[in-house]
Amino acid sequence: MPSRPLAAARGAAVVLALCVLGLAVPAAGMGARLAGGSTQRAIARAFSAQRSHRGQVVVSIRTSSVSRAWAVVRSVTPQRAGQAKSGATPALHSTYYHLAGRRVRPAPPPRAVRRDLARPFSVAVVYRGSGAEAIAYSQLYRSACQGMGGFTDSADDTVAPMAWTVRYIVDLDDLLAAVRSPSGTALAPNVAFDAIGSRIDASETVSRTLQDKGCNQKANTVTCTTTFSAGGLDPGGQLSFPAGAGLEVGLPLAPLQRGACNPDNFTLGPSLWASGAATALVSRLPLLGGTLPANPYAPIRVSWPEQAATTTQGFAVSPCQGDAAVCTDKFRWRGTVALQALPGT
């Protein structure tokens, strides 16, 4: 039986040998990571240069946790629009590359690297934000009676608090569809909404007051309060990947109403908050096949209105659209969208 000093020396020799081979033992909990910036671009160029990859589209590029000098490109051959087979799962292909300085070359990786890069790979998309909205409407009409004063119709809509953290899990190795059309290639990975890691804390109160002062009527006020939580019928459908546009992240809202909430009671339509204007379009995070930032996992700031997706011809769709003289809508939010590495993938 070897002595302790001899056993320790042998262990150190094994670690040293692995380091020399570029196969250092990964830290606990580490996994393959998405490549971004110049590294991703260099690998993508090497992939495109191979004639065998004609017609294929890159889905993801990631480096090994065993050795960052090795990477894999996961690609797919899209079907043409109109020829896609219903229920058919696109086949993903793996191409391995060795990175040595600025040189990128295709090569078969060591067994430990191949095993590491072959594990199922998912990332989390986390959208955090907060803000408030206040809508004020007031319209004066002629009274039906001869008394002093007119008929007033006024409404207020306030969303506060308004804060959220929503989390989606994207399985980049489970592609549900890959379709090529004249407008671009659409890739649809498997997306799951993380209900445990998500929270929406928002409350909207809408009130409307009608009063005909000329007829000496008392003010009649109706109020509806809606509280929002994370959920809804298809929460995972709030994360999408528009071709060439990056990542679009919305809030899956599950509303609960109390009060006089019949829509016929109110002049104002849905607020910007309730109609989805907190959706963020993040062009800097083209998760599928695009060029990611040098650090793909760094949070990216988003805000209203510049990066909100709910617009018509460049203008926000608001209850006050066309009624600026009698209606104001103040809506502001700030937030971040970030990718998170998932341990063990």
Q: Residue ranges of the domains in the chain?
A: 25-119, 123-341
What tens digit of pLDDT does each residue of 197-256 get? 999 999 999 999 999 988 989 999 999 999 999 998 899 999 999 877 889 999 999 999
pLDDT of res. 19: 39
> What average pLDDT does the segment 69-80 reach?
94
Model confidence at 2: pLDDT above 70: no
Two tokens, residue 59: 């889905």
**Lowest-confidence pick of 5-9, 43-47, 131-135, 143-147:** 5-9
Instruction: Label the pairing between strands 57-63 and 70-76.
Output: antiparallel
User: What pLDDT score does 184 carry?
Assistant: 79
What's the pLDDT at 310? 56
Tokens of 137: 């409407």
**Rounded Cα gap, residues 64 and 117, in angstroms:** 6
So what's the pLDDT on residue 101? Answer: 86
pLDDT number for residue 311: 57
Q: In this model, does residue 13 exceed pLDDT 80?
A: no
Chain centroid to Cα 128, Å, comes to 10
Q: Which tens digits make up the pLDDT trace of 15-59?
A: 333 333 344 444 434 679 999 999 999 999 999 999 999 999 999
Per-residue pLDDT tens over the stretch 155-188? 999 999 999 999 999 999 999 998 888 777 889 9
The reported pTM is: 0.85
Q: What number is the average pLDDT over the span 89-114?
A: 94
Find out whether the peptide bond into 293 is cis, omega within 30 degrees of 0: no
146: pLDDT confidence band, cut at 50, 70 and 90?
confident
pLDDT of residue 86: 58
Cα 155 from Cα 265, distance rounded (Å):
11
Q: Which residue has the tokens 């998912």?
A: 122
pLDDT value of position 27: 43
Positions of E strands within 213-305: 220-230, 239-240, 247-249, 253-259, 280-282, 300-303
Amino acid at 165: T
Residue 316: pLDDT over 50 = yes
